[in-house]
Amino acid sequence: MELTLPALPYAYDALQPYMSKETLEYHHDKHHQAYVTNGNNLLKGTEFEGKSLEAIVTGSFGKNAGLFNNSAQHFNHMHFWKWMKPNGGGKIPGALEKALIDSFGTLDKMKEDFIQAGVTQFGSGWHWLTVQNGKIVITKTANGENPLVHGGKPILGNDVWEHSYYIDYRNRRPDYCKAFIEHLVNWEYVAELYEAAIK
C-alpha cells in the first residue's frame, strides 16, 4: 500500500487562535509530507509492501527503525488532523464520557493527567488516551512510537514535537497541551475510535 498524505479536514486557518495557519502549513504540508515520502521510499522492496498501515507499523517496530519511524508518524498524523476540529473540546458523547469518568474519576482529572503526560514527555513524542485491556489509560511515548506497538488502541493523541507548537506557543508546552484538550479535541472522532476499540 502506497502511503498518501490526506488533505486537512478543515481550512488551514480554522483552528486559530489555538493553532495557527502557519503551524498547520508547515506541520501538514512539510512534516507529514516528509514522513509519507520517506516512508514510501523505505517501504520499497521490503516484506511490508502491500500490507496495511497498522501491519507496517507493528511489524517494523524494533526491526526496521527508519520504516517504523516514518510509517508510525504517518499513522499518528493521519489521526492527529482528525483528533482536532474548529470549536473543539466541547461536550463529550455520553458513552465515552461515562467510560472516562469510570477510568479517571472526573473529566477534570482526566484532562489534568493528560496534560501532565504531555508536559513530562521529555523531548519529542506524543501523549495518549488509549484503550488497553478494556480500560482507558493515559500514556506517553517518545518520537514516533505509539500505543499500537504496546498492544493498545489509541483513541486520542497529541503531538508534542516542537514543530507542533513552537510557532504559536514557543517554549510554553503546558499552555499548548491545555489548549489542545480544552479547545481543539474532536470528541466525536475520539468516541468513534472508542466504540471500535471496545468491540
Residues contributing to the site for Mn ion (CB under 5 A): 159, 161
The Cα–Cα gap between 127 and 118 comes to: 5
Taking a C-beta distance cutoff of 8 angstroms, is the pair 193, 153 a contact? Answer: yes
From the CB of 73, what's the least distance to Mn ion, in Å? 7
From the CB of 180, what's the least distance to Mn ion, in Å? 13
From the CB of 42, what's the least distance to Mn ion, in Å? 18
From the CB of 160, what's the least distance to Mn ion, in Å? 9
Question: Using CB atoms, what's the residue nearest to Mn ion?
Answer: 159
User: SS3 string of 124-154?
Assistant: CEEEEEEEECCEEEEEEEECCCCHHHHCCEE
Nearer to Mn ion, 159 or 168 (CB): 159
The Cα–Cα gap between 88 and 184 comes to: 4
What order of strands is seen across the sheet that includes strand 135-142? 135-142, 125-132, 153-159
Nearer to Mn ion, 162 or 175 (CB): 162
Check the CA dihedral 141-146-148-149 and report its sign. Answer: negative
Nearer to Mn ion, 132 or 143 (CB): 143
Task: Provide φ and ψ at 129, rounded to 5°.
Answer: -105, 125
Nearer to Mn ion, 81 or 189 (CB): 81
